[in-house]
Amino acid sequence: MTKITRSYVHGASPVPLLGDTIGVHFDKAVARWPDRDALVVPHQNIGWSYAELSRRVDALAGGLLALGLEPGDRVGIWSPNNAEWCVTQFATAKAGMILVNINPAYRLSELDYALNKVGCKALITAGSFKSSDYVGMLRELAPEIDRSAPGRLEAKRLPQLRALIRIGAETTRGFFRFEDVMASGRDRHATRLADLAKTLQFDDAINIQFTSGTTGAPKGATLTHHNILNNGYFVAEAMRFTEADRLCIPVPLYHCFGMVMGNLGCITHGAAMVYPGEGFEPLAVLEAVEAERCTALYGVPTMFIAELNHSDFVRFDLSSLRTGCMAGAPCPIEVMRRCIDDMHMRDVTIAYGMTETSPVSFQTSTKDSLERKVSTIGRVHPHVEVKIVDTDGRIVPPGVPGELCTRGYSVMLGYWDDAEKTADAVDQAGWMHTGDLATLDEDGYGNIVGRLKDMVIRGGENVYPREIEEFLFRHPKIESVQVIGVPDPKYGEELCAWVKLKPGETETPEAIQAFCRNQIAHYKIPRYIRLVDAFPMTVTGKVQKFVMREQMIRELGLTIETTA
């Protein structure tokens, strides 16, 4: 293995990039594996072969054309995980329409913003999910729905939205039923689909995903067929997927983890997609893995922690598992060890990336040592370049922290209708600036040490919360921990740790601080320790540290102005 002398790596690979659109590649998969399981959704009693999934995809694609939608039109989907989500993903791709992923947790103002920002012409929606009444919220935004014929909406607040399509058997005034749209296509629409397959280009925009930014309005990362088809393919390649694999996908489909790493990773290899539930429930995941003999499992670390700590965990036979992927947030080392030992995931991988890069740019290999698997994010993905730079934009030596920048096929086209924010993120040389602080070792293995905005500067010392979190995770009573910086008049910032103890355990903040003494430098010991039952989370399982910081500033009576 050649040692690197500066923090720049290129994923040179003899495996070529796929040169297909998603629709063309999907049809190739169907032709190759028509009778193999494609989609299994236990909560809907669905088990479809590739041929059956294809029939439904083509029916919906034809139906969307029959509604008058055209290639390039934006079609939103607002729904938890279900078979209709999968059908919509491939149908819109085949018809050349841009799928707009709407977060299932969005409320009125967020929905209003997302639909209008990208100009959705149609919206496919579930009726409701958990505490969200989707139909009710749409009626509140657009009371014109109740007096509009389906497909002819003219709403003051949603001026570009014309067609509403409801998932499920219920008939709702102003909405098409999903199944009725599938039945509305005619022979001429099937002919049009065949013609589109010859004319659509893989560099066409095909997906818009809103980033869950911590400040300001969400940005619509615009991705192409080429971006996400290849990324899904190479993620699955890293796990050595074949048509014999069955992937349990409890992560949200509206996010890259579900629809790219999950769905596209499967269809590029003939594997089966298994959705254990509408939303994440640890018991449903364990049941699906056992019942469907899943060979791979996805999740963010908090999901794996919930599964491993479930009271019925030991009664499930998870021996079919071989591999999987953990991503979306840093993984505590001990959680990775338990996945390997207790869940039989000997070939589990860690992946790192961001929505704007389709998403993955680093991943561990099934051949990596246990030490590499539990302590790094692996090496750069095929056909991707990465450099680590200092604040002046200069590449740093191996082992020195700096901002991780990515370039290659996976970088988004840009943020929809926002040239200024695009230019802030992607420089003139094509590098996507991630905002993540990282290091590369001499062998090219990466490690994320924090976010530029999360790094704590205490009395002139740079402190990386990830390092403190990993140390505190060794405490035998601690289940999980998150570390943030809060303002301090003397040092500029002080460390604050939110600690969640294991079930049934008790501990005091003072005892946790004592655990740190003589083990880590004094300035790395959290001054404030808060014992909590849960962390503020996004729907994708990412901890919202900015919410924690704001709450602690209020509770402690601190002022941001005092920060050095």
pLDDT average, residue stretch 162-175? 97
**C-alpha count within 13 angstroms, C-beta hemisphere, residue 450:** 21
Question: What φ, ψ does residue 153 adopt, rounded to 5°?
Answer: -70, 135
What SS3 state is found at 410?
A: coil
Is the pLDDT reported for residue 144 higher than 50? yes
First-last CA distance in the chain: 44
Query: Which of the four pLDDT bands, split at 50, 70 and 90, describes residue 212?
Result: low
Count Cα neighbours of 547 within 13 Å in the Cβ-side half-sphere.
9
User: Phi first, then psi: what are they for 527, rounded to 5°?
Assistant: -75, -35
The span from the CA of 323 to the CA of 265, in Å, is 13
Mean pLDDT of 41-62: 98
Residue 414, CA distances (Å) to 218, 220, 224, 417 in order: 13, 8, 10, 8
Domains and CATH numbers, the chain: 22-207 (3.40.50.980), 219-248+262-451 (3.40.50.12780), 456-562 (3.30.300.30)
Contact predicate 94/57, CB 8 Å:
yes
**Spatial distance between the Cα atoms of 389 and 308, rounded to a whole number of angstroms:** 38
Residue that the structure tokens 């910032």 belong to: 493
Helices (H), 48-132: 50-66, 83-95, 108-118
The mean pLDDT value for 464-488 works out to 91
Find, among 169, 191, 179, the residue nearest to 56 by Cα.
179
Q: Does the structure show a pLDDT above 60 at 560?
A: no
DSSP 139-176: HHH-GGGGGS-TT----SSSTT--EEEE-SS---TT-E
Q: What sign does the dihedral 47-53-55-57 (CA atoms) show?
A: positive
Average confidence (pLDDT) over 400-411: 97
Q: pTM (2 decimals)?
A: 0.86
Q: Provide CB contacts within 8 A for 303, sequence distance 6+.
A: 250, 251, 280, 282, 285, 541
Which of 227, 414, 412, 241 is closest to 325 using CA atoms?
241
- For the ranges 40-49, 214-223, 301-310, 342-351, the lowest mean pLDDT is seen at 214-223
How far apart CA 518 and CA 122 sit, in angstroms, is 60
pLDDT given at position 564: 27
pLDDT tens digits, residue range 494-541? 999 999 999 999 999 999 999 999 888 888 999 999 999 999 987 667
pLDDT for the residue 215? 43
508 φ, ψ to 5°?
-105, 155
pLDDT score, position 54: 98
Beta bridge partners of 123: 76, 164
Lowest-pLDDT range, 3-17, 247-261, 288-302, 440-454? 440-454
Q: What span, in angstroms and rounded, lies between the C-alpha atoms of 234 and 256?
A: 14
Residue range 437-446: mean pLDDT, rounded: 96
pLDDT exceeds 70 at position 345: yes
378 and 361 in contact (C-beta within 8 Å)?
no
What pLDDT is recorded for position 520?
86
Summary mean pLDDT of the chain: 94
- pLDDT, one tens digit per residue, over 79-104 is 999 999 999 999 999 999 999 999 89
The pLDDT, as a whole number, for residue 453 is 75
The answer for residues whose C-beta is within 8 angstroms of residue 257's C-beta and 6 or more apart is 251, 298, 300, 327, 328, 359, 540
Sheet holding 446-451, edge to edge: 8-10, 384-389, 402-408, 432-440, 446-451
What letter represents residue 146's amino acid?
D
42 has pLDDT over 50: yes
Whether 390 has a pLDDT exceeding 80, the answer reads: yes
pLDDT at site 562 = 32
User: In the predicted model, what is the mean pLDDT of residues 454-470?
Assistant: 81
Range of lowest pLDDT (138-147, 263-272, 406-415, 540-549): 540-549
User: Given this model, what pLDDT does residue 216 score?
Assistant: 57
Of 141 and 543, the one with more pLDDT: 141
- The amino acid sitting at 330 is P
d(CA 201, CA 225): 8
Write out the two tokens for 480.
Answer: 């999980």
Q: What is the model's pLDDT at position 563?
A: 29
Cα gap 329→331, rounded to integer Å? 6
Pairing of strands 402-408, 432-440: antiparallel
The pLDDT of residue 493 is: 87
- Count CB-CB contacts under 10 A for residue 476: 8
- pLDDT (average), residues 205-213: 86
Return the axis-axis angle of helices 333-342 and 301-308, rounded to nearest 10°: 50
Which pLDDT belongs to residue 467? 83
The answer for residues whose C-beta is within 8 angstroms of residue 346's C-beta and 6 or more apart is 322, 323, 340
Give 543's pLDDT tier (boundaries 50, 70, 90): confident
- Mean pLDDT across 49-73: 98
List the alpha helices (DSSP H) in 82-222.
Answer: 83-95, 108-118, 134-141, 178-182, 187-199
Tell whether the model's pLDDT for residue 68 goes beyond 80: yes
8 Å CB contact between 386 and 360: no
Joined tokens for residue 268: 């590029």
Provide the pLDDT for residue 165.
98
**CA atoms of 400 and 506, how far apart (whole Å):** 38
Window from 307-321, 426-440, 513-527 with minimum mean pLDDT? 513-527
pLDDT at 2: 87
- Give whole-number Cα distances, 429 to 223, 406, 423, in Å: 19, 11, 11
Query: Is 131's pLDDT higher than 90?
Result: no
